[in-house]
């Protein structure tokens, strides 16, 4: 039996086992993937290579022989039980592991001390996870991607709530469904603090842990709404093309910019925001998979969203066909991209919808103080301050592309719907942004919801308040997008 170039990471059948042609018998880890090698014929398996050996292409790793045949120890004849010589394929001289060359007991572990799939190794490098501390659940104890995801989730798990206990204020003025929903929130102060602004590895772990944590939730949304999801690129930027069930061909499109404090989430892990909106509005959504901070700063991120909008224009969409939608940090990025296009004289989209916009990246505004202990999601100093600094230096926190409350809107801006809740520290952000737009003579609507937390529409899309907010969003978009009614 011969193999591709790579590391032998596991035998799936023991030496001496009877196998049938096509049975998987070993795993080879190449640079791109882990490959199964199957038995080329019926017979008895005789292993000729050890786990952890790095093999060259077309190197012999074992033999499938008939009963009574014995494998050759060196190059030469293979002698059958009948005594008649059989001529095997040429056997190349295998490179032995250093321990074996020195006469020591050969290791059953590959270089690096672990057996892991390429996907697991890549994720571990990204999240700075030590593979030697993990136990593999794959064949032969191989570490697979799920093992690394479990380690990330464990490392990112929030600490237990303080013994004093915590119970959020649940107003009687919200729906019964919302009351039950609000009661499920753990104390924000019990969540672990965010990494330092310049902790690249720490943010990578946080991002990977968050992706793993919300994967099931997003899978449930996909299963419920059954949208068509296609990964593609626009303007050189990765995007997720989302088309709802029964979508009718239309030039109208909604560009979505996900939240996550500039450092978390992706287009694929934000389906609880984008997919229900696509379903309710019937619009095709283009979710921008921008590069999260600190891997990219605000100028690059805003530029990526602007590049997607420019690419849609080049593809034949009029500005009247395009609207923007963002939540939290994504709402601020969406505003920054619109301002960039406006400042460069490229035009304006038809409308913008902003959920709980992080419109002032610094801790400035009344509700940052008055709602500090009421916010159900985070504490600024503990969870947001370092994220803000990872996205933009403090000296640029009042740049309009970073904090859109400081923009001059007299030069123009699309009709804008701002939605938020009265139980979030970003309440002042929405109020101040509305006032900036309205004072400048732009069309703006501030739509606030009693007792609702930050981005409640995505936290629980089934709440009566969430459904009402999306219906108002649909009406707003239909009013300003081309072909609306």
Predicted confidence at residue 298, as pLDDT, reads 98
- Between 291 and 9, the higher pLDDT residue: 291
Average pLDDT of span 125-132: 70
Mean residue pLDDT of the chain comes to 85
Q: Can you give the pLDDT at residue 165?
A: 61
| pLDDT at residue 90 is higher than 90 | no
- Token pair recorded at residue 49: 């290579």
pLDDT at position 89, please?
37
pLDDT score recorded for residue 156: 54
Predicted confidence (pLDDT) at residue 17 exceeds the cutoff of 50: yes
The CA distance from 203 to 189, in Å, is 19
Q: What is the pLDDT of residues 439-480, one digit of tens each?
A: 999 999 999 999 999 999 999 999 999 999 999 999 999 999
Asked if pLDDT for residue 257 goes beyond 60, the answer is: yes
User: Which bin fits 262, alpha (ψ -120 to 50), beta or left (φ > 0)?
Assistant: left
pLDDT band at 112 (very low <50, low <70, confident <90, very high): very low
In order, the DSSP letters of 132-160 are: GG----SGGG-B-HHHHHHHHHHHHPPPP
Q: Count how many Cα atoms sit within 13 Å of the Cα of residue 443 in the half-sphere of its side chain.
A: 12
pLDDT tens by residue, 169-191? 899 999 999 999 999 999 999 99
- Of residues 189 and 94, the one with the higher pLDDT is 189
H-type alpha helices, 74-175: 98-101, 118-127, 145-156
Convert the pLDDT of each residue in 136-155 to its tens digit. Answer: 777 656 787 777 877 776 66
pLDDT given for residue 461 in this prediction:
96
pLDDT tens-digit readout, 201-212: 999 999 999 999
Mean pLDDT of 15-25: 83
Residues 259-314 have pLDDT tens digits of: 999 999 999 999 999 999 999 999 999 999 999 999 999 999 999 999 999 999 99
Residue with the bigger pLDDT between 282 and 20: it is 282
Looking at residue 229, the DSSP 8-state letter turns out to be E
Q: List domains and CATH numbers for the chain.
A: 2-111 (2.40.50.100), 203-480 (3.40.50.1820)
List, by residue number, the catalytic residues.
328, 424, 454
Say what the pLDDT of residue 160 is: 41
Q: Identify the band that residue 382 occupies on the pLDDT scale cut at 50, 70 and 90.
A: very high
Query: Which pLDDT band holds residue 378 (cuts at 50, 70, 90)?
Result: very high
Angle at 379 (CA atoms; ends 221, 216), nearest 5 degrees:
20
357: number of Cβ within 10 Å: 31
Q: What is the pLDDT of residue 363?
A: 94
Q: How many helices (H) and strands (E) does the chain have?
A: 13, 19
- CA end-to-end distance (rounded Å), the chain: 67
In angstroms, what CA-CA distances link 69 with 17, 48, 66, 86, 422? 14, 15, 6, 10, 80
């Amino acid at each position: 039996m011969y193999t591709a170039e790579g590391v032998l990471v596991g035998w799936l059948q023991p030496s001496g086992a009877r196998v049938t042609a096509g049975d998987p018998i070993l795993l080879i880890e190449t640079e791109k993937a882990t490959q199964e090698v199957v038995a080329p014929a019926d017979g008895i398996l005789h292993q000729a290579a050890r786990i952890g050996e790095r093999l060259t292409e077309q190197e012999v790793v074992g033999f499938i022989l008939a009963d009574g045949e014995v494998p050759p120890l060196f190059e030469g004849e293979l002698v059958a039980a009948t005594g008649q010589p059989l001529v095997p394929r040429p056997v190349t001289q295998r490179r032995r592991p250093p321990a074996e060359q020195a006469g020591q007991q050969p290791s059953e572990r590959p270089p690096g001390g672990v057996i892991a799939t390429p996907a697991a190794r890549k994720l571990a490098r990204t999240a700075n996870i030590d593979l030697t501390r993990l136990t593999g659940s794959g064949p032969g104890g191989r570490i697979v991607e799920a093992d690394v995801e479990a380690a990330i989730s464990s490392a990112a798990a929030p600490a237990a709530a303080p013994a004093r206990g915590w119970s959020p204020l649940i107003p009687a003025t919200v729906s019964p469904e919302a009351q039950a929903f609000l009661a499920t929130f753990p104390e924000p102060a019990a969540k672990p603090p965010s990494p330092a602004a310049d902790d690249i590895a720490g943010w990578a772990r946080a991002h990977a842990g968050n992706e793993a944590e919300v994967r099931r939730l997003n899978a449930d949304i996909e299963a419920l709404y059954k949208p068509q999801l296609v990964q593609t690129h626009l303007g050189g930027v990765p995007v997720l093309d989302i088309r709802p069930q029964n979508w009718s061909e239309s030039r109208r499109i909604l560009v979505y910019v996900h939240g996550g404090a500039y450092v978390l989430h992706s287009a694929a892990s934000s389906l609880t925001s984008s997919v229900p909106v696509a379903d309710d509005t019937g619009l095709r959504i283009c979710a921008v998979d921008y590069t999260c901070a600190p891997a990219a700063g605000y100028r690059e991120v805003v530029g990526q969203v602007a590049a997607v909008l420019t690419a849609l224009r080049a593809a034949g969409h009029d500005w009247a066909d395009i609207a923007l939608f963002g939540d939290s940090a994504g709402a601020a990025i969406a505003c920054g991209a619109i301002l960039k296009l406006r400042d460069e004289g490229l035009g304006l989209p038809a409308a913008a919808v902003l959920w709980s916009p992080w419109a002032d990246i610094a801790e400035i505004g009344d509700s940052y103080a008055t709602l500090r202990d009421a916010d159900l999601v985070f504490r600024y100093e503990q969870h947001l301050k370092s994220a803000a600094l990872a996205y933009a230096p403090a000296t640029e926190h009042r740049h309009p592309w970073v904090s859109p409350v400081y923009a001059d809107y007299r030069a123009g801006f699309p009709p804008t719907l701002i939605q938020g809740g009265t139980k979030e520290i970003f309440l002042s952000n929405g109020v101040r942004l509305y006032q900036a737009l309205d004072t400048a003579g732009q069309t703006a609507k501030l739509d606030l919801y009693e007792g609702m937390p930050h981005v409640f529409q995505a936290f629980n899309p089934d709440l009566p308040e969430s459904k009402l907010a999306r219906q108002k969003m649909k009406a707003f978009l239909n009013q300003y997008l081309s072909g609306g009614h």
